Amino acid sequence: TEEVEDERVVAIRKTLQGQLNRLSESNIEGIVLQIEAQYQKYPRHHVTSVLTSLILQSIESRIHMLDTFLYVNAAIVGAVFRIVGLEPVAHLVQKLMEEFEQRFTQSMTEFKAAQGAEASEGDAMTTGKECQNLCVFVAELYNFQVISCQLVYDVIRLCIKDINEFTAELLLKLIRISGQQLRKDDPLALKEIVRQVTETIGASGKLSVRCKFMVESLTSLKDNRMRNEMSQNAENVARLRRFLGNMDKRRAVGAVEPINIGLQDIRDVETKGKWWLVGSSWVGNQYTGDTDGPTALQKAQKDSDNAEMERLLKMAREQHMNTDIRRSIFITLLSSDDYADAFERLLKLDLKNAQAREMMRVILHCSGQEQAYNPYYTLVAYKLCSYHNTYRLTMQYALWDFLRELGESDVGGLGRISEESSSLGANVPLRRIVNLAKTYAWLVDKQVLSLLILKTVTFARVGEQARVFFQVMFSTLFLLHKKQSAQDVQAVYSVFQRAVSNPTMCHGILFFFQHFVKNCELVSEDERPIMKWGCKVAKQAIRSGVGSTSFDDM
């Protein structure tokens, strides 16, 4: 009902307002976690709407905002971009640019009216403070890789259409805050802008002192002669960028691609649809400069019709696919014809480094959510693990993460980061434990993974949930060879022989077999002999490889 919805909005606003009121560089991480908690607790639309409103209202002030306030708020947006995804940040960028253009037009009118009344040149410094604050915020979002240089260059192009003290002030702020990065990202665009400015001032003739200083600053930037003091908060911004980079690594977010849209996309939102929504009528990125081509999400959706894509996107949200990359992988998996098609389409997403590793985590998530074990996800994982060692390594780390989730806090050495520690030992659904155990058993049997992925497990004291996982994993491994032929013996023997380089782990595995697998209660009476056979073959392989009699009593 509307009343319940209003109560939710009030609760969200109260929480977020309190967090943002005390925002500073020192407590930004805790506030980011509180914002994430709101997204997990309430509908995303409500949280996004309130967060956008609060941030823009605080920035859109008639007073001059401190740079610190603006770049810390921009860092918050950058963090939301990484942990929640594209949509909330895209919504904020859309509202920000709409408000900026409206304020820009209003401020230009006020400035020209003041000029007609013979206002002093210094009045430009106080004209349109709201617009100036919004402009600085755009530059800070660019610094934190939320938006690409295209949008900032479009703002610059808007300003140089009519060069006066007010637009010169905006340009000087952009140059001071983001100039060096703009030059690095697209020096040709900067060169063209300097050319246009030169032509414009040549036609107008007379220039104020402030405008001349702006032109000199632009020229110095183009020629890489800009003075260092023009980037006052570079060190603080760099520290916050490192914070966001560390967040990427801890959360396995992967590399975040800045939103690559221009002012025209902002203006066309009513006619062409919301550019950030899959299935909208937006035709795509029209930028003609150097880019890395279509985004992963665009590639994932290009062959699907809008209705189906909307359905898949809804499912992705329900499954907490909270980044553009994760959604693209999820949609590719669910829209592929078979595992071979999925493998080919995933590779065509052309994801790099940490982005590519997200594939395995999404695959495991999907496998764990199935009501019954679905070999489709295992086969896709097999193809990827066979393709490159990166995916095999990710499967190992993902297993350690999962075992920690099951309560094995010492697996993998260091425990999880503090914000995830509360999930250790949580009650994980049995279907997820079983499905992932069968996935890993199959991959180990096919030898794209080795039993050495279990090298950090202390089998003598695993908890109840982890015990079930390993019982299912090893029993599945043996049941894959239930015929017990010579070929089956060799297959099982080979799996365990590959693990003998770690005698401590092998000792733990045989201990686990003796107590929990040989007479495993999770298999039927008819399958018990297969368990005993498998344990015997494994013991022979380990004893042969390790060359010790210490295993004889097991």
Residues 328 and 339 in one domain: yes
Is it the case that residue 419 has pLDDT exceeding 90? no
pLDDT at 311: 81
Span 308-321, average pLDDT:
82
User: Beta partners for 147?
Assistant: 259
418 CB-near residues (< 8 Å, 6+ apart): none
Domain assignment of residue 260, yes or no = no
Q: Give 201-255 pLDDT, tens digit per residue.
A: 776 667 788 888 888 888 888 887 766 544 446 777 888 888 888 776 666 555 5
Span 363-375, average pLDDT:
94
The last residue of a domain, from among 250, 283, 313: 250
CA angle 330, 333, 335 (to 5 degrees): 105
The last residue of a domain, from among 186, 219, 250: 250
The last residue of a domain, from among 380, 415, 447: 447
Residues, the chain, total?
A: 554
Q: Give 148-187 pLDDT, tens digit per residue.
A: 899 999 999 999 888 888 999 999 999 888 888 888 888 8
Q: Domain residues for 139?
A: 2-150+232-250
Residues 492 and 416 in one domain: no
465: pLDDT confidence band, cut at 50, 70 and 90? very high
Query: Percent of the chain having pLDDT more than 70?
Result: 83
DSSP string covering 169-209: HHHHHHHHHHHHHHHHH-HHHHHHHHHHHHHHHHHH----H
Residues 10 and 103 in one domain: yes
Q: Give 478-505 pLDDT, tens digit per residue.
A: 999 998 899 999 999 999 999 999 999 9
User: Beta partners for 259?
Assistant: 147
Q: Structure tokens of 118? A: 């013979």
Higher-pLDDT residue of 271 and 70 is: 70
Q: How far apart are CA 319 and CA 313, in angstroms?
A: 10
Q: Structure tokens of 19? A: 């967090």
Domain assignment of residue 194, yes or no = no
Domain assignment of residue 291, yes or no = no
Q: Give 46-67 pLDDT, tens digit per residue.
A: 899 999 999 999 988 767 778 8
126: pLDDT confidence band, cut at 50, 70 and 90? low
Check if the beta carbon of residue 131 is closer than 8 Å to that of residue 170.
yes
Residues 324 and 434 in one domain: yes
Check if the beta carbon of residue 111 is closer than 8 Å to that of residue 165.
yes
Whole-angstrom CA distances from 213 to 128, 179, 234, 516 are 20, 15, 21, 78
In total, how many domains does the chain have? Answer: 3
Residues 377 and 520 in one domain: no
Residues 485 and 389 in one domain: no
pLDDT at 54: 94
Residues 90 and 13 in one domain: yes
- pLDDT averaged over every residue in the chain: 83
Residues 467 and 341 in one domain: no
Whole-angstrom CA distances from 488 to 438, 480, 525 are 18, 8, 21
pLDDT at 256: 66
Residues 395 and 527 in one domain: no
Is it the case that residue 426 has pLDDT exceeding 60? yes
pLDDT at 323: 79
pTM: 0.53
Whole-angstrom CA distances from 175 to 143, 194, 225, 346 are 12, 12, 12, 40
Rg (alpha carbons) of the chain, rounded to whole number: 29
Residues 503 and 365 in one domain: no
Residues 39 and 76 in one domain: yes
Check if the beta carbon of residue 334 is closer than 8 Å to that of residue 315.
yes
Q: Give 510-548 pLDDT, tens digit per residue.
A: 999 999 999 898 999 999 999 999 999 999 999 987 765
Residues 48 and 33 in one domain: yes
215 CB-near residues (< 8 Å, 6+ apart): 197, 198, 201, 207
Q: Give 66-94 pLDDT, tens digit per residue.
A: 888 899 999 999 999 888 888 889 999 99
Domain assignment of residue 47, yes or no = yes
Q: Give 326-354 pLDDT, tens digit per residue.
A: 888 999 999 888 888 899 889 888 887 77
